[in-house]
C-alpha cells in the first residue's frame, strides 16, 4: 500500500460534520482517491453526539478556543442528583434536528442507498407551555392540533376559532396556486402573525400555535417563509405512517447520518484518519501541498475544509439536560396504527418565562424531548434539548424553562435533573465559497428542523472535485451494492 505522502489525492476532506460526510458519500462510487481527516478523535465535528466523558473534553476545547462555533460551555450536576448512568450510556447530540418527511435529505439518503444503515424514529406531538394562572396550580402543556382531524376533535379551541384554523389549514396546503397567491403575496415580507390576524381572524393564542409549528427562533417569521414551512409540516404528515410529520435518526441525530456517510466513503475506498488535522499548507500550487498534524506531508488536487467565518451570524443559547424520568405522557401515539414517538417538541412563547430578576423572555424557547428509544440515554431517563436566541438573559431563561417544564410534566413531584450541559452556538449561513481548488464550508444553519439549503454547498463541492466528470443526474444516484437486498430480507 502506498504511503500517504506517495499518493496524489484527488481530494482531502477536513472534518466529518454532516456536510463533509455527505460529500464523502457522494464521492463513494467515483473511484476518486479521497483522504478524509478530522482533528477530533470522534466522528461528527459540529454535529457530533458525545458521551459524558467526550462532553467534558469538548467543554475544555470550547473554553480553550478550539471550537470556534461554540462558546460559554459549562457542565453542571445539580446538588443531590443521583441515578446518572455510565458515561458511554449517553449520546448527547450537538445537532438534534428533526427531519420533516418531505426533506431532500431523506430523498438523497434513499437514492444513495445510505438509508439502509439508519434507523429512524417518529417525532410525535408539538406542545405549547401555558404558565399557571394561580399559585396553587401548576403549569400545563397544550397539544397543538396539526391536522383537520385534530382540530375537529380538540376541546381546547372554541368552535368559532376552529373554523378559522380549518380554513387556514386548507389554504396553506395549496397556497402557491392561484387565487391563493393573490391573498398572501402583498404580505409576503410582513410578519406571518399579521397575515393570520387580518385574513383568518386568528387571536393571539391561535397565532402562537401556528408560529410554533414553524419553529421560528425569533417568533417573527415572514408570511412567505412561514407559509412554506407550515406547508412542509402539514404535507409531511402521514407520509411515512400515520400520526407524525417528522423523523429523527436513532443514536444521535445528524451524527448518525454523518457516520453512515463516512462508512460508505470507506467502503468506496476513502482513507480515514481521526485525530488528524491540517497544520500548514501551500496555496497557489497544483497540486496543493498540505502538512498534517500527524507529520505527514501530502499532495492533493483539491481540498475541502470546515469554515469558521462568523461574520453576520446569529447565536443561540443551548441547554442539554438529562432527566431521571421517562416522561411517558409526551410519547403517546395520537393516531390509530401510529408508532410510539421517541421525540416531542414543547414551545415556550415569548413572554411566558422570566428571569429571577423579573425580566420576561424576549424570544420563544423550545424543548425537544427525547426518550431513551433514541439511544441517547439509559432506559427510564430522557434527554431535553433546549434552545432560544442568545441574549444576556438567555441562559437564565433556559434554566427557568427547564424548571417550568419539569413542573408541568411532574405528578406529585417534578422529575429530577441529573446533568446539564450549557453552551452558546453560532448559527451560520449556508453559502460556501470556493476559490480555485479549495472549498470552505461555512457554519451551517442548525435550526430546530433540518434546512435543505444545507445540502446545496455539498453538491457544489462535489462538482468542484469531479470537474468535467460531474453529471447532475448522477449525483447521489447509486444502485444497491451486492448483498444489500439479502440484508433487507433478513
**What whole-number distance in Å separates Cα of residue 93 and Cα of residue 46?**
10
* CATH hierarchy code of domain 52-89+244-249+314-427: 3.30.519
pLDDT of residue 283: 77
**What whole-number distance in Å separates Cα of residue 12 and Cα of residue 15?**
10
Strand, helix or coil for residue 447: coil
Estimate the share of the chain in helix, then strand, then coil, as percent rounded to the nearest 5: 35, 25, 40
**What's the fold here for domain 8-48+254-311+429-489?**
FAD/NAD(P)-binding domain (3.50.50)
pLDDT of residue 152: 73
Question: Are residues 402 and 321 in contact, defined by beta-carbon separation less than 8 angstroms?
Answer: yes
Distance from chain centroid for Cα 483: 32
Residue with C-alpha cell 475544555?
60
pLDDT of residue 414: 86
**What's the fold here for domain 147-236?**
Guanine Nucleotide Dissociation Inhibitor; domain 1 (1.10.405)
pLDDT tens sequence for the chain (490 residues): 468 999 999 999 999 999 999 999 999 999 999 999 999 999 999 999 999 999 999 999 999 999 988 999 999 998 766 789 999 999 999 999 999 999 999 999 999 999 999 999 999 999 999 988 887 788 999 898 877 777 777 777 888 888 888 899 999 999 999 899 999 999 999 999 999 999 999 999 899 999 999 999 999 999 999 999 999 999 999 999 999 999 999 999 999 999 999 999 999 999 999 999 999 998 777 899 999 999 999 999 999 998 665 555 789 999 999 999 999 999 999 888 999 999 999 999 999 999 988 899 999 999 999 999 999 999 999 999 999 999 999 999 999 999 999 999 987 788 999 999 999 998 765 455 557 799 999 887 778 999 999 999 999 999 999 999 999 999 999 998 776 655 444 3
pTM: 0.93
Question: Are residues 189 and 224 in contact, defined by beta-carbon separation less than 8 angstroms?
Answer: yes
pLDDT of residue 156: 74
- Structural domain spans, the chain: 8-48+254-311+429-489, 52-89+244-249+314-427, 147-236
Looking at the DSSP bridge assignments, the partners of residue 274 are 38
Q: How far is CA 206 from CA 188, 198, 235, 328, 349, in A?
A: 20, 13, 20, 26, 12
Rounded to a whole number of angstroms, the CA Rg of the chain reads 23
**What whole-number distance in Å separates Cα of residue 367 and Cα of residue 399?**
12
Asked whether the domain spanning 147-236 has the same topology as the one spanning 8-48+254-311+429-489, the reply is no
pLDDT of residue 489: 44
pLDDT of residue 308: 60
Q: State the SS3 of 142-208.
A: EECCCCHHHHHHCCCCCHHHHHHHHHHHHHHCCCCCCCHHHHHHHHCCCEHHHHHHHHHCCCHHHHH
pLDDT of residue 490: 36
Amino acid at each position: 500500500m502506498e504511503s500517504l505522502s506517495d499518493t496524489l489525492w484527488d481530494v482531502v476532506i477536513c472534518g466529518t460534520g454532516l456536510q463533509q460526510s455527505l460529500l464523502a458519500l457522494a464521492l463513494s462510487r467515483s473511484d476518486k482517491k479521497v483522504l478524509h481527516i478530522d482533528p477530533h478523535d470522534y466522528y461528527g465535528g459540529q454535529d457530533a453526539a458525545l458521551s459524558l466523558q467526550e462532553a467534558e473534553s469538548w467543554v475544555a476545547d470550547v473554553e480553550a478556543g478550539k471550537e470556534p462555533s461554540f462558546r460559554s460551555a459549562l457542565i453542571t450536576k445539580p446538588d443531590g442528583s443521583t441515578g446518572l448512568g455510565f458515561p458511554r450510556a449517553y449520546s448527547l447530540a450537538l445537532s438534534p434536528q428533526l427531519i420533516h418527511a418531505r426533506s431532500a435529505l431523506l430523498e438523497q439518503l434513499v437514492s444513495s442507498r445510505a438509508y439502509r444503515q439508519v434507523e429512524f424514529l417518529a417525532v410525535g406531538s408539538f406542545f405549547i407551555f401555558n404558565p399557571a394562572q394561580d399559585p396553587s396550580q401548576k403549569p400545563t402543556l397544550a397539544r397543538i392540533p396539526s391536522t383537520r382531524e385534530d382540530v375537529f376533535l380538540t376541546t381546547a379551541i372554541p368552535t368559532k376559532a376552529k373554523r378559522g384554523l380549518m380554513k387556514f389549514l386548507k389554504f396553506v396546503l395549496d397556497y402557491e396556486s392561484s387565487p391563493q397567491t393573490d391573498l398572501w403575496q402583498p404580505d409576503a415580507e410582513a410578519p406571518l402573525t399579521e397575515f393570520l390576524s387580518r385574513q383568518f381572524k386568528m387571536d393571539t393564542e391561535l397565532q402562537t400555535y401556528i408560529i410554533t409549528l414553524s419553529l421560528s427562533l425569533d417568533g417573527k417569521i415572514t408570511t412567505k417563509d412561514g407559509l412554506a414551512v407550515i406547508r412542509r409540516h402539514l404535507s409531511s404528515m402521514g407520509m411515512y405512517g400515520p400520526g407524525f410529520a417528522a423523523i429523527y435518526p436513532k443514536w444521535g441525530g445528524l451524527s448518525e447520518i454523518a457516520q453512515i456517510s463516512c462508512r460508505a466513503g470507506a467502503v468506496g475506498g476513502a482513507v480515514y484518519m481521526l485525530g488528524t488535522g491540517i497544520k500548514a499548507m501551500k496555496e497557489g500550487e497544483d497540486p496543493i501541498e498540505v502538512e498534517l498534524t500527524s507529520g505527514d506531508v501530502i499532495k492533493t488536487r483539491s481540498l475541502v475544509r470546515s469554515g469558521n467565518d462568523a461574520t453576520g451570524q446569529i447565536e443561540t443559547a443551548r441547554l442539554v439536560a438529562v432527566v431521571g424520568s421517562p416522561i411517558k405522557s409526551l410519547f403517546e401515539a395520537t393516531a390509530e396504527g401510529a408508532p410510539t414517538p421517541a421525540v416531542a417538541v414543547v414551545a415556550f412563547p415569548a413572554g411566558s418565562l422570566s428571569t429571577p430578576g423579573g425580566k420576561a423572555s424576549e424570544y420563544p424557547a423550545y424543548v425537544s424531548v427525547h426518550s431513551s428509544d433514541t439511544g441517547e440515554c439509559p432506559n427510564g431517563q430522557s434527554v431535553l434539548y433546549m434552545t432560544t436566541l442568545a441574549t444576556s438573559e438567555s441562559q437564565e431563561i433556559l434554566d427557568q424553562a427547564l424548571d417550568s417544564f419539569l413542573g408541568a410534566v411532574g405528578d406529585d413531584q417534578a422529575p429530577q435533573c441529573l446533568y446539564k450541559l450549557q453552551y452558546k452556538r453560532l448559527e451560520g449561513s449556508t453559502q460556501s465559497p470556493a476559490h480555485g481548488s479549495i472549498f470552505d464550508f461555512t457554519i451551517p444553519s442548525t435550526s430546530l428542523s433540518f434546512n435543505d439549503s444545507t445540502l446545496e454547498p455539498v453538491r457544489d463541492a462535489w462538482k468542484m472535485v469531479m470537474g468535467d466528470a460531474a453529471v447532475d443526474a448522477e449525483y447521489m444516484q447509486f444502485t444497491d451494492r451486492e448483498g444489500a437486498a439479502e440484508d433487507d430480507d433478513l
